[in-house]
């Protein structure tokens, strides 16, 4: 490291992350830039090893979680900022150094919202969920493609993955239909790919279920109606201990399950749900709420009367989303209170 890139006394550093090149801007306690530097990946950590402990801001993006864990180990206080919250602090033109300065300024704002730093276990679990979700999408595309190929030869297969897997072998074995030999071979290969893909999905599902059985918090989350092994582990991977949220509503808002607001002139105007935050976790909660809405024994659960009243005054789809938001609030309580779990009957009235 050259002497001109040696650390200078700074209260806050902003890092603009790249694949191999990183730009750093240091601000003093008054918010004035005192250092601007450019590092490669192998020299950036050397710089912060020599720097006095300070606040380090970065955009929350690919690579930021690993860097945050490394900088925390060196004694720095790391703040990850969503990219959309940094944009207002970029002045005039855009460059990597200007971005780093904007990140440093945003990191000092008292009302700024920061992303949490994930542990390695959370990152591994989230990666497992994302790969499984990607495989399920691939399975759907593969089935749709094979169904379309069959339609080109006048063969309409029944809808649904289970029915498709019953119908396609019969079509392939029927020599009297109009399938050409080349298409029959191609469909046979694609069907073999589908079976291999489903085996991998089943393996990942079992691995996630095993993790849920081992984790005490996941087992307590699964006491909530509509939350199973997938939902519980996805919440642990995305939310962690939940203490980054001040109250239960903040978690529901972070998941995009509360209304958007566009109010002015003292008139409140609420719109549809915001759909912000983690789309995958929101999807699992909404699907779980839909199942719970249909199959929950309302005479034996404390949510029953509330659901009956909700169903009587609004569309079922709105009621499902409202139930998902309530589930998110219950999740926050289970995450933040040691030993807490969902009790189907209110102890005061049991």
Render each residue's pLDDT in the chain as its tens digit; 350 residues: 556 677 788 889 999 988 889 999 999 988 888 888 888 888 888 888 888 899 999 998 888 899 999 999 999 999 999 988 998 988 888 888 988 999 999 999 988 988 888 888 999 999 999 999 999 999 999 999 999 999 999 888 998 889 999 999 999 998 888 889 999 999 999 999 999 999 999 999 999 999 999 999 999 999 999 999 999 999 999 998 888 888 999 999 999 998 888 888 888 888 888 888 889 999 999 999 999 888 888 888 888 888 888 888 989 899 999 999 999 999 999 999 988 888 877 655 54
Token code pair at residue 197: 């893909």
For residue 8, give the 3-state DSSP assignment. Answer: coil
* CATH class for the region spanning 8-107: alpha beta
**8 Å CB contact between 288 and 221:** no
Say how far apart CA 264 and CA 240 lie, in whole Å.
36
For residue 205, give the 3-state DSSP assignment. Answer: helix
For residue 79, give the 3-state DSSP assignment. Answer: strand
Q: What angle, 0 to 180 degrees and rounded to 10, lies between the N-to-C axes of helices 229-239 and 181-214?
A: 70
Token code pair at residue 91: 């002045």
pTM: 0.85
Closest CA to 221 of 140, 106, 340: 340
Q: Which residues pair with 115 in a beta bridge?
A: 80
- What pLDDT, on a 0 to 100 scale, did the predictor assign at position 2? 59
C-alpha distance from residue 287 to each of 8, 256, 263 (Å): 53, 15, 30
- What pLDDT, on a 0 to 100 scale, did the predictor assign at position 3? 61
- What pLDDT, on a 0 to 100 scale, did the predictor assign at position 62? 85
- What pLDDT, on a 0 to 100 scale, did the predictor assign at position 309? 87
> With the CA atoms of 175, 176, 177 and 182 taken in that order, what torsion angle do they form, in degrees rounded to the nearest 10?
40
Q: What angle, 0 to 180 degrees and rounded to 10, lies between the N-to-C axes of helices 229-239 and 120-151?
A: 130
Across the chain, which distance is largest between two alpha carbons, in Å?
Answer: 83
- What pLDDT, on a 0 to 100 scale, did the predictor assign at position 286? 94
**8 Å CB contact between 34 and 12:** no
The per-residue b/e assignment along 12-21, b for 16 or more CB within 10 angstroms, e otherwise, is: bbbbbbeeee
């Amino acid at each position: 490291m050259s002497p001109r890139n040696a650390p200078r006394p700074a209260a806050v550093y902003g890092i603009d992350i790249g694949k191999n090149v990183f730009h750093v801007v240091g601000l003093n306690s008054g918010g004035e830039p005192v250092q601007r530097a450019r590092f490669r990946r192998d020299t950036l950590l050397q710089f912060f090893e020599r720097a006095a402990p300070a606040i380090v801001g970065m955009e929350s993006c690919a690579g930021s979680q690993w860097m945050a864990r490394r900088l925390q180990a060196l004694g720095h206080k790391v703040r990850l900022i969503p990219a959309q919250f940094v944009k207002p602090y970029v002045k005039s033109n855009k460059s990597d150094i200007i971005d780093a300065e904007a990140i440093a300024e945003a990191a000092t704002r008292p009302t700024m919202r920061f992303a949490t730093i994930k542990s390695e276990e959370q990152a591994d679990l989230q990666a497992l969920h994302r790969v499984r979700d990607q495989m399920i999408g691939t399975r759907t595309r593969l089935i749709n493609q094979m169904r379309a190929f069959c339609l080109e030869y006048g063969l309409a297969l029944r809808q649904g993955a289970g029915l498709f897997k019953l119908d396609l072998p019969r079509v392939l074995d029927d020599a009297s239909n109009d399938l050409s030999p080349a298409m029959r071979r191609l469909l046979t290969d694609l069907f073999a790919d589908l079976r291999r893909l489903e085996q991998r999905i089943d393996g990942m599902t079992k691995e996630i279920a095993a993790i849920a059985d081992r984790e005490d918090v996941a087992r307590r989350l699964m006491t909530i109606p509509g939350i199973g092994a997938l939902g519980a582990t996805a919440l642990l991977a995305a939310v962690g201990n939940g203490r980054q949220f001040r109250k239960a509503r903040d978690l529901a808002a972070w998941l995009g399950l509360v209304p958007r607001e566009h109010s002015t002139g003292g008139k409140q105007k609420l719109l549809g749900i915001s759909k912000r935050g983690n789309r995958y976790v929101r999807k699992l909660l909404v699907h779980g709420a839909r199942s719970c809405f249909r199959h929950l024994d309302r005479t034996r659960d404390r949510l029953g009367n509330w659901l009956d009243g909700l169903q009587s005054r609004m569309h079922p789809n709105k009621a499902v989303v409202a139930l998902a938001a309530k589930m998110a609030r219950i999740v926050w309580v289970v995450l933040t209170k040691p030993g807490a779990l969902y009790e189907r009957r209110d102890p005061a009235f049991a």
